[in-house]
Amino acid sequence: DADVTQTPRNRITKTGKRIMLECSQTKGHDRMYWYRQDPGLGLRLIYYSFDVKDINKGEISDGYSVSRQAQAKFSLSLESAIPNQTALYFCATSELLAGYNEQFFGPGTRLTVL
């Protein structure tokens, strides 16, 4: 979706390197999320943010950190990348619609840690 963009789309890095994945959105949504996708495991929530000052850990936050620079920008960092962080990473946004939480996903970043 052009409304949610992720950079880079692909990244190969080495163990121990610091990596930042960036997400930007033009949908005007307050809520933003980072997920990782692994075969057979589905999508798992890493971090989520409901506004610039509200950041929360998801189910698999160890080894990751995030920064919400503005309403439209949410970055995910791997402080010291390790091979088991090789995965497809997705950013998503949402607003509260009639009490339910439809999420809009970006195109993903494929990260390989050697």
Rounded least distance, CB 4 to another protein, Å? 7
Rounded least distance, CB 30 to another protein, Å? 12
C-alpha 12: how far from its chain's center?
Answer: 17
Count of other CB atoms within 10 angstroms of residue 11: 17
Of 20 and 55, nearer to another protein (C-beta) is 55
- Sign of the Cα pseudo-torsion (41, 114, 48, 72, in order): negative
List residues near another protein by CB under 8 A: 1, 4, 40-45, 48, 50, 56, 58, 90, 92, 96, 99-108
